[in-house]
Structure formats: structure tokens, C-alpha cells
Amino acid sequence: MTDPSLTPAVPDGSGDDSASAAVPGKYDAEVERLFGIGGPLGPAVGGFRPRKSQTEMAKAIAHAISEQQTLIAEAGTGTGKTFAYLVPALLWGGKTIVSTGTKNLQDQLFSRDIPTVRKALSAPVSVALLKGRANYLCHYHLERTLANGRMTSREDVGYLRDIARFLKMTQTGDKAELARVPENASVWNLVTSTRENCMGQECQYYQDCFVMKARREAQQADVVVVNHHLFFADVALKDTGVAELLPSANTIIFDEAHQLPDTATLFFGETVSTSQVLELCRDVLAEGLAHARDGANWASVVSVVEKAARDLRLTFPQDVVRLSLPQIAPSSDFFPALQKLKDELDGMIDVLEGQAERAETIEHCRQRGLELAQKYKDWQVDPKAKVPPGQEAVYWVEAFASSLQLHKTPLSIAQIFNNQREGTPRSWIFTSATLAVKNDFKHFAHQLGLYDEPAKSWPSPFNYAEQGILYVPQGLPDPNSMGYTDAVLDCALPVIEAAGGRTFLLCTTLRAVKRAAERLRDEFERRGLNFPLFVQGDRGRTELLDQFRKAGNGVLIGSQSFWEGVDVRGEALSLVIIDKLPFAPPDDPVLAARIEVMEKKGMNGFVHHTLPEAIINLKQGAGRLIRDEGDRGVLMLCDPRVISKPYGRRIWQSLPPFKRTREQAEVIAFFQPPPA
């Protein structure tokens, strides 16, 4: 029996209808032709068929481009939003920057989607791919690493040999082309540059530099594909080549735009890390020994700074820590250790000053030292200082296994981002499958300062009521209770078995991932269930997904990185289980400070921030299930608060309009083959 309290709310597809003007746009007829039966996209794209929502979205984007307007565009899964923005952009967008959520999506756009559309339209546009400098091999740092030969493992020696060979063959220097060396191998840090250690025009390899070559190509191209991290790093640091592109850009398109507030917050803040100090020490030692061996006892000059940096990290004995400045006890060892690091860093800078004229590389190290020292000095807050409205920030520390980061994070990026959008008129398109909460765009728009900008939602073409079920199990305990993960697994096991594996189990914490993996391994063995288990962390995300797809009956357990940007079509994925509503941890220093400011203004932090964030995140997780017209499946949402709490209704009304049930038997029957 279907629970009447779970009757689906059917989205009306509305938003702010000003996005598509009542007067037809000047490109409407052409968009209809391109996306219609007999249009050029059909022969070029396998399986392409006209979709009303895709055509309407493309019209709205074409209108925004022609009028140099801003548009917030939410497109349900399956709308085909990539083509809906690429067609108008390639034909009428002028110089266009397309920014995506991840490097994987960036590569997909550049290698597959844009070439397909360009060929279908016979559009004479040039396209460039631009990534952050850490993705490109650096001639200078490779040469220095080969000369120093300081490899810590035989594996790294082999990788370095592969990289040296790769240098002679590659046109781009993009490390993604060298699949043999894992993307996260530590050796890449020794053969790529950072903003701090790049020699710039003083480098002997400047003319051959892959970073500079990529930037030159981007400046000349009609369409440039970047990612959000790169875009905002440039706005903040002016170091990625986007700054040179922006003045001439007519159109900026953000795909996966729901990620923008977090990414922008990351880069509009300031961070300094002990690992930056250790990296500087490594370079000071190398350059000092190479160019001024007699100028100082370089080993002892750097060792006192290294020790001070490591001692600062050790003032927090835990593996992972996130604390705001007011949460650190005044008596903590952290404060004297921080002062000690500042003093030792100043001492090393004095030594570099005396030797800087002996080599440009030593002078470069001195400049980096001064920058770092300034950042550490700036990480101080005067409680009496008056902060202008809109410029409030939270000071906090984050400890990892071997480094400590000091952050200064703005509480709101709306004003900063608005400043970036001022000046030259151009169109700004923000698109994603998840921007609204029950067709309300206020939360997303206000975070980025997009007040009163047109917003519109286009519904998914999928028949969710026929293709799937939303199942909220009965009898689960409070999500904060002991043993909650085991209670979820007790409910999930019969459903996983009925589904024949083919499951994503999406958890909100890594602890839950670990517990679920232990338990399911035991249960599958005990019950004789031959379902391959894939666990986040065992291998890279791409490899795990490839193996999951090939297996056809696998169970994949993951946390945040599997909630979005993952596309598994067909029968390999038929069940998505979400253990808890994805509320941000209440001890997050930035969230706590934001909520405090909101509540001082008389707003409710939970209703106006925490809940909308969780809903947008949940919509991403739910979006993994139905990826095609032929997909069928069950979304199992285990958190009882979706039924028991007053805000629960707002949550499930924001989800796709699946048939809804609380009965396990109905779900198991869904997976049974139809009678012959």
C-alpha cells in the first residue's frame, strides 16, 4: 500500500518565466530547426530525438546570449542541457568560456561533446582546453628533479622515467595523457610548477612552456573550456590565464553551477599551509646548494623552519581537525608555535636576502618567503576592528595527516562575485540539474548575488512515476543513534538481494562507508550472494565506476564524490540507497559563522541555509538513479526525518515525482520479472 503522506508533488516546470520572453527571440525559429526532426543534430548524434524541454531551454539561452543577459537555468536529468547551451554558444555566443564542475567533465566536453556539435552544425569555431598549471609538465622542474635524483621509492623512479619519455612526445604536456602514471602520484609535485615556484619569463624554457602554450591557445580560441576551480583561482590569484580571457569574452557558461558557491568561497578566501613552507624549504636547500654553497649552512637554515612548521601541525594531535579561531583555547600550544614559525621564516628570509644576488632562483625563493610570511602575519583578527558589511570573514584552522592550513573565509561571496560580473556587458548562463528547492531559486541566487535575475526550470522528459519508486522504510531509529548504519543495512539487504546487486549505497560519512563495507562483505559471504563489492578509496573513482559497470551486478559504496557527476545508464544500476539526509556537519566553522550572522538578522539558519543546501545535495544523489528513458529503479531514502519532521514534506516535494511507498514488499515486487 502506498502511504498517502508520500503523494508526489508534480513540478509545474515554472520558475521565473521572464527567462523566456513572451516575444519570440530572434533565434527561436533557427533553434526549432536545429533541434527538430530533420535537423542537423539527428544524423550527428546517435539516438538523438527532439525533446521539447531541450528546445525550449536552448531558445532561452539563445535569447540571453543575444541580449547579453544573465540566466539561471535548471534542467531536469535527461533534458540534454549540454547541447541546449552548446548549440547557441557555438553559433551566436562570440568568444565563449564554458566552465564545468570537474576536470573529467572538462575533458568530456572538449574531446566529445563540443566536436560532435561543431561537426553537426559545421560551425567554424576554434576550441581550447585550459587547466590549472599543476596539470602541465614543467621543463625546468623535471630537469632539476632528474639532476637531483631524490626519489624515495623504486615506483617513483619508474614514474620519473615515464615522464621524461612523455616530455619528448607530448604536444600539450597535459598529465592526463600519461595514464601510466597515476594522477595523484607524488612525483607529479616534483615535475610541475606552482604559482609560487614558477620562474615566469626568467625561465630558460619559457618559450616551450606548456602552461604558456595552453594560455596562448586559449586567448586565440573562440570557445575555451575551463573548470570552476581554475576560473575562481584566476579571479582571486590572477594566475591561470582566465584573467586574460575575461575582457574579450562575450558569453560565460557555468555547467554544474550548483557547485559555484562552495568553489567561489574557497578561492575568495585566503589560505596558508605548512606544506607550502616545507615546499619552500625544499627549494631553498636545492637552490642554495646549487648556486651559493659557501654562502650559508643551508641544511641548518631550512631544518629549523621545517621543524617549526611540523611542530605547528603537531599542536593538534588528531588526524583531522576543523576549528574556528575562537574555539582554540588561549592556552593552546598553537599560538606560541605559530609565532615560532613566523620568527624562523623571517630568519630564513634574512639569509636569502644576503645571497639573492647570486642567482635569480634564490631571489625567487626570497620573494616566495616574503609572500608566505605576509600571509601568516595577515592571519590575525583584531576583535575591535570594524568590518564593513558584506566583508565579514571567519578565521579557522584545518589539520590533515601531515599539514596544517590556516583559512580566512568570507561569510558571503555575493558582493565579491557581483563585482566580478560588473563592467563589460556579456551573457552569464548558470545551469545544473539542481539549482532550485521546490522550484524556488532564491537560495542559489542569493549566494552568488544574482538578485532579480531571470530563472527557469525545465522538467525531465523521464516518466518517473512509471520508471521508479521512492521508498522510505518504516521502523528506522533516529539517524544520530548508535548502530544506525547497521539498522539501515538490515533494511537494505533484502532490497539489494531482490535487485540482484546493481546498487549504489551513498553515505554521508566515511565512517559509514567503512562500516557498510565491513558488514556487506560478511553478509554477502554468509548468504552466498555473489555481488562484487566496490568501495570508495580502494581504487580511483573512474576505475571503480568502470568495474562497477562491467560487473553488471555490483554494489558500490561511496560518500560525497559519488553523489554527483556519475553516470551509470542501463541495468547495471537499479537501486540507489541514501543512508541519511546530507546535512552539513554542525561543527563546520564556516557554516556555524554563517548561521550566526543570519540569525542576528532575524533569519532562521536551518530553514534559510542548512535545509536548502541539503535538498540540493540530495537531488544530486537521487539523480544517479534514472539516467535514460529505459532505466528503471528504486530510490531508497532511509532517513526517517523525511516523514517525521515538518520540513520533510519540502524535501520529498523537491525530488523527482516517483511513485512513493513505505512497504518493502512493494519494492521487492518491483524487481520481480513480469509473469510470462
Co-location of 381 and 470 in the same domain:
no
Q: Is 472 helix (H, G, I), strand (E, B) or coil?
A: coil
**Per the domain annotation, does 65 fall within a domain?**
yes
The pLDDT value given to residue 17: 43
Residue 7 has pLDDT above 80, yes or no: no
Residue 15 has pLDDT above 50, yes or no: no
pLDDT in tens, 280-302: 999 999 999 989 999 999 999 99
Report the distance separating Cα 524 and Cα 554, nearest Å.
12
Q: How confident is the model at residue 10 (pLDDT cuts 50, 70, 90)?
A: very low
Residue 70 has pLDDT above 90, yes or no: yes
The pLDDT value given to residue 154: 83
The pLDDT value given to residue 236: 61
H/E run at residue 72: strand 70-75
Report the distance separating Cα 604 and Cα 594, nearest Å.
11
Residues 6+ apart with CB under 8 A from 499: 574, 575, 634, 671
Domain boundary (410, 441, 476) is at 410
Q: How confident is the model at residue 659 (pLDDT cuts 50, 70, 90)?
A: very high
Domain boundary (378, 410, 442) is at 410
Count other Cβ atoms within 10 Å, centred on residue 380. 11
Q: How confident is the model at residue 21 (pLDDT cuts 50, 70, 90)?
A: very low
Across-strand partners of 321? Answer: 399
Q: How confident is the model at residue 8 (pLDDT cuts 50, 70, 90)?
A: very low
Residue 83 has pLDDT above 90, yes or no: yes
* DSSP codes joined into one string, 193-213: --TTT--GGGSTTGGG-HHHH
Co-location of 114 and 67 in the same domain:
yes
Residue 185 has pLDDT above 90, yes or no: no
Report the distance separating Cα 290 and Cα 287, nearest Å.
5
The pLDDT value given to residue 12: 37
Count other Cβ atoms within 10 Å, centred on residue 612. 22
Of 417, 73, 384, the C-alpha closest to 231 is: 417
Residues 6+ apart with CB under 8 A from 52: 461
The pLDDT value given to residue 241: 58
pLDDT in tens, 127-164: 999 998 889 999 999 998 888 866 667 888 899 999 99
**Per the domain annotation, does 181 fall within a domain?**
no
Percent of the chain with pLDDT strictly greater than 70: 93
- Mean pLDDT value of segment 255-266: 92
Residue 625 has pLDDT above 60, yes or no: yes
Q: Is 259 exposed, middle or buried (CB count within 10 Å of its CB: 0-12, 13-18, 19+)? A: buried
Co-location of 540 and 554 in the same domain:
yes
- Mean pLDDT value of segment 444-461: 94
Q: How confident is the model at residue 19 (pLDDT cuts 50, 70, 90)?
A: very low
The pLDDT value given to residue 561: 82
Residue 386 has pLDDT above 80, yes or no: no
Residue 58 has pLDDT above 70, yes or no: yes
Length of the chain: 676
**Per the domain annotation, does 251 fall within a domain?**
no
Co-location of 368 and 516 in the same domain:
no
Co-location of 306 and 400 in the same domain:
yes
Co-location of 492 and 633 in the same domain:
yes
The pLDDT value given to residue 496: 97
Q: How far apart are the first and last CA of the chain?
A: 24
**Per the domain annotation, does 138 fall within a domain?**
no
Residue 4 has pLDDT above 50, yes or no: no
The CATH number that applies at residue 489 is: 3.40.50.300
Least confident of 89-93, 360-364, 659-663: 360-364
**Per the domain annotation, does 527 fall within a domain?**
yes
Q: Which amino acid is at 506?
A: L
Report the distance separating Cα 175 and Cα 464, nearest Å.
41
Most confident of 194-198, 386-390, 553-557, 605-609: 553-557
Of 579, 572, 580, 581, the C-alpha closest to 505 is: 579
Residues 6+ apart with CB under 8 A from 168: none
Residue 5 has pLDDT above 80, yes or no: no
Report the distance separating Cα 67 and Cα 25, nearest Å.
9
Record the cell numbers describing residue 473, joined without a space: 522504510
**Per the domain annotation, does 15 fall within a domain?**
no
- Mean pLDDT value of segment 375-402: 82
| Number of domains observed in the structure of the chain | 3
Co-location of 356 and 393 in the same domain:
yes
**Per the domain annotation, does 230 fall within a domain?**
no
Co-location of 35 and 100 in the same domain:
yes
Q: How confident is the model at residue 2 (pLDDT cuts 50, 70, 90)?
A: very low
Record the cell numbers describing residue 168, joined without a space: 619528448
pLDDT in tens, 497-554: 999 999 999 999 999 999 999 999 999 999 999 999 999 988 878 888 999 999 999 9
**Segments in 501-588 forming alpha helices (H):** 510-527, 541-551
Give me the chain's average pLDDT, please: 89
Q: How confident is the model at residue 320 (pLDDT cuts 50, 70, 90)?
A: confident
**Per the domain annotation, does 405 fall within a domain?**
yes
Q: How confident is the model at residue 352 (pLDDT cuts 50, 70, 90)?
A: very high
- Predicted TM-score (pTM) of the model is 0.85
Angle at 461 between CA 623 and CA 79, to 5 degrees: 70
Could you give the C-alpha distances from 170 to 146, 164, 181, 186, 439, in angstroms and in order? 18, 10, 14, 21, 47
pLDDT in tens, 563-622: 888 888 888 999 999 999 999 887 788 888 888 888 888 999 999 999 999 999 999 999
Co-location of 378 and 454 in the same domain:
no
- Mean pLDDT value of segment 407-426: 87
Record the cell numbers describing residue 547, joined without a space: 568495474
Co-location of 453 and 468 in the same domain:
no
Co-location of 435 and 306 in the same domain:
no
Co-location of 566 and 658 in the same domain:
yes
Per the structure, the complete domain to which residue 444 belongs is given by: 27-126+426-458
Report the distance separating Cα 309 and Cα 344, nearest Å.
9
